[in-house]
Structure 1
């Protein structure tokens, strides 16, 4: 009897459908059926009742299932113990990021993890705005998320990793595009492009905060979910926006970042994670992040 036979058996027992079990195991249905037949031959009993409409466990299958779980669990514990004794950190860490806003922070973190923690399977999930990241952290589909700060979410911890000044994103033919600096109040009559204003984007909240500090509420004519597309539409002349200075180097042709000479407003970039018990892999990545993405001094 082989471990993979038991893994196939558990998949069919949980799905009660050979097609779905095959998809879950990422194999074709025919090899899966052959594996189950080998297992049945090994134990000397039918494990499933099959017909054209349904699959059900036989009494022998029902008796085997808890034992199969036990074997798989014992194997996982043995593997974890061996890995711990070796001193290497293994596991999977899923990191959510928004794309353009993390072009300076995510690459350096990912490269360092792959170099210094090679046994960690790093899975990167794109197009994750702050609100999405908090939801995914709490439902367990992410381990770490790049977010805008501050955040208020029960059970979620966060740390500041960058503080960048806000300025204007203008089309190059805008009357103020060639100025060395402007006041945000000078944009009060412009149409604004923004990330979603539904509370899911910290960049949208920063835009609103900056404009209100300048004495006006922006007239947002279009909300865009992708930050680079938003900047592309600025370059196309469809409006202006307020963005952090760290996006200035990747502005599309036809758009320009212009500093505000008002009281500075900042975009606060951070990482967030759940405060409950973490895997060794997540703890290792968080520890490494403190070295390569330290909290900036006030």
Structure 2
């Protein structure tokens, strides 16, 4: 653990940006984040707007770790990365995939509110048609009931699924789905790790075959490494719709894991129409080389959030800092 820097120092290091998206993702068409220019590097504070202060404080801890302590030493210099397809229509799939370079693995959003399983199947089928050799994984963000999840996974399983991420909301329901599937589709836990009071409970319950870990929601790279080690399950590192600065923390986490059997979900900058770094941290030939990310002053100025939004984020920073 490192000493939390004084609030005044953090406020002085803060830049708030508003980054337009190429395609709506998680209902977001413009992504607001705060990046911090710390003495050890750049950190990102970007909890989604609906998150409360207690949850958001962990994101701040991650940003301060990156900016004031720096990332741990890597054990690999390159990390495989998957493409991400939001809950778009099947007709939009080709244009979404065109934003990614040399796609070997694809994560597809399913169970979107207001959409049907038939739409999910069409989207997954469109990806499989375009990429017959790619690994495909789906992410329901806890949107199904147990019965819906089992039915959906049996249907979508015909496309060949690497795993299904968070098909249902609770750990108990995850365990029920995993038991019902009998190993025919692997189950990955995301929200059951990053949003849980006890991130290890899902592993103890035998409710998942692997973990999806994100540096920011877990309080930083080092805390995420501890959770993976204690859980004793394979891990996939994912992002939270971050700018290249935030992706840099995820890349550092993936680079420091002792084992990395799966491609990581760190390619979401390709879904953005703007960024804070040049060049952006995006996958090349299906992977990312490990490197530090530095925000570009010109981009920070060009995409600076309006004054009222900057004030909103600074007040949020003050509240969350007080919780650390």
| TM-score computed with the length of structure 1 as normaliser | 0.22
* Higher Cα Rg, which structure: 1
Q: Say which structure is richer in helix.
A: 1
Q: Which has the higher contact order (CA 8 A, sep 6+)?
A: 2
